[in-house]
Structure formats: C-alpha cells, structure tokens
C-alpha cells in the first residue's frame, strides 16, 4: 500500500485540498449546530438540554414558544416575541391573527417561513397554527428525512477521509483499525440517539457522546494525514 509521505505530488495536492475543505466543512457544521440546536434552550452553547428540546421537545409549552425563546430568539425584538407568546397562550385566536399578529409575523418571520421548503409556512394562519400546539420536538417525518441524509452523506465523506488515513505510516495497527471504525460507530449512535431522545430524553447523552466521537476521530485522521504528507524534513527518498 502506498504511504502518504511517498505519494506523487499531484495526489498529495488532491488529498490535501479534500481534507482541508472537509475539515472546514466540519467546522462550519459545528457552528451551524451551535446557532440552531445550541440555542434551543435560549443560551449559546450546545448542552444536553438543547438536544432534549430539539428532539423530545419542551412539553410545557408550544413549539413556537420554544423557538422564540431559543434558536429564533435573535430573529425578533423582545416586544414582538412577548406579543407572540401571549397570543399563543390565549389559544392563538384567529381574530387576533387577522388584526395584529399576522402583521408582526410577516415583518419578522416570513422572509424564511413561506419561502424555504420544508419549514412551516407562516404566511397563512393555518401554517402557524400547527406550531402553537404543545412542543413535542422533531416529528417522525423530519427524523426520517434527516436520518437518511446523514447516513448517506456522512458515510460517504468518511469513506474518503478514512481511506486517506489508512496510508499513514507509524500508526499502530489496533489504533488504525479503531480510528477508522469510530466514525461509522458514532454515526450509528448519533442517528439512533435522535430517535431514542424523541421518546426517552436521557438518550440525549448519546448524541453528545457521538458528536464528541466525530470531532476526535475526524480531527485525528485529518491532522495526521496532513502532517505526514507535508511534514518538515521529508527526505527526497520519501518524496
């Protein structure tokens, strides 16, 4: 098997570009998680509570309230959020929607809700009414859609990251096998934990475990591979 330190320069450039872009993509995905799931409890930073609110829901209130106090908190001012929460707690009457609430929603929400497919349409009363009920977290259709995207997409990404890492030299065999297997193990745990948290909130700890495993295994493989391809002092023989 070829080693990373002895690859043709063109292949090293190809692998380097791929690993850097994938590494940046993983960082961006982490940032996106912080700004969406990480705001589910209204505080920046990912916690077990964020995972519970995202998948199990906050069953003491509506989905709209949870979003307004969490990931959508920055999308409207405090006065608007308070008016929407008060309207929901009154039973979200349609008369008030026509008189006042509909205008507030149009000014603050419909730039996305009503334009982006797959999220509730707030341009009509019937669309927003669906999220004024008790927040039971992610729906089964949403979980199915996100699960199949993750299973296909992430597995495909790690196939190449792991494939490049297998050409690293000096890595003990047991460690090599373990690190290559980890992304797939944690991918399975991650997706399973979403479904489990939907019904058992304590399963959210598995989601945190899986995310930590992703970060450590991918970071180790990417950095090790880049180091071996471009480490200082590579001899002409290595090249």
- Can you state the angle between helices 140-165 and 204-230, rounded to 10 degrees? 30
Residue 134 pairs in a beta bridge with 62
Structure tokens at 194: 């979403």
As to burial, measured by CB atoms within 10 angstroms (0-12 exposed, 13-18 middle, 19+ buried), residue 83 is middle
Contact partners, residue 112, CB within 8 Å, separation at least 6: 119
pLDDT in tens, the chain (239 residues): 678 888 899 999 999 999 999 999 989 988 888 777 766 655 666 778 888 878 887 776 777 887 787 777 778 888 888 888 888 888 888 888 888 888 888 888 888 887 777 777 888 888 888 788 777 788 899 999 999 999 999 999 999 999 999 999 989 999 999 999 999 999 999 999 999 999 999 999 999 999 899 889 999 999 999 999 998 866 555 55
Helix, strand counts (H, E) of the chain: 10, 0
Cα Rg, the chain, nearest whole Å: 23
pTM for this model (two decimals): 0.69
Contact partners, residue 71, CB within 8 Å, separation at least 6: 35, 36, 37, 38, 39, 40
């Amino acid at each position: 098997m070829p080693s990373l330190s002895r690859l043709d320069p063109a292949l090293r450039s190809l692998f380097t570009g791929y690993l850097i872009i994938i590494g940046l993509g993983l960082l961006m995905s982490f940032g996106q998680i912080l700004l969406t799931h990480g705001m589910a409890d209204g505080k920046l930073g990912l916690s077990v509570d964020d995972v519970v609110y995202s998948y199990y829901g906050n069953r003491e209130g509506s989905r709209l309230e949870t979003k307004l106090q969490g990931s959508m908190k920055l999308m409207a001012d405090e006065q608007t959020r308070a008016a929407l929460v008060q309207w929901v707690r009154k039973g979200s009457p349609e008369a008030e929607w026509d008189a006042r609430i509909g205008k507030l929603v149009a000014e603050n929400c419909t730039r996305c809700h009503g334009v982006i497919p797959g999220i509730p349409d707030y341009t009509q009363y019937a669309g927003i009414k669906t999220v004024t009920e008790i927040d039971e977290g992610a729906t089964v259709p949403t979980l199915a859609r996100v699960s199949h995207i993750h299973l296909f997409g992430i597995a495909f990404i790690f196939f190449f990251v792991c494939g490049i890492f297998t050409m690293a030299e000096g890595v003990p065999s047991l460690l090599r096998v373990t690190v290559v297997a980890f992304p797939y193990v944690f991918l399975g745990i991650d997706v399973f934990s979403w479904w489990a948290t939907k019904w058992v909130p304590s399963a959210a700890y598995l989601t945190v475990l899986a995310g930590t495993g992703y970060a450590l295994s991918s970071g180790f493989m990417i950095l090790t591979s880049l180091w071996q391809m471009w480490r200082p002092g590579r001899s002409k023989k290595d090249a």
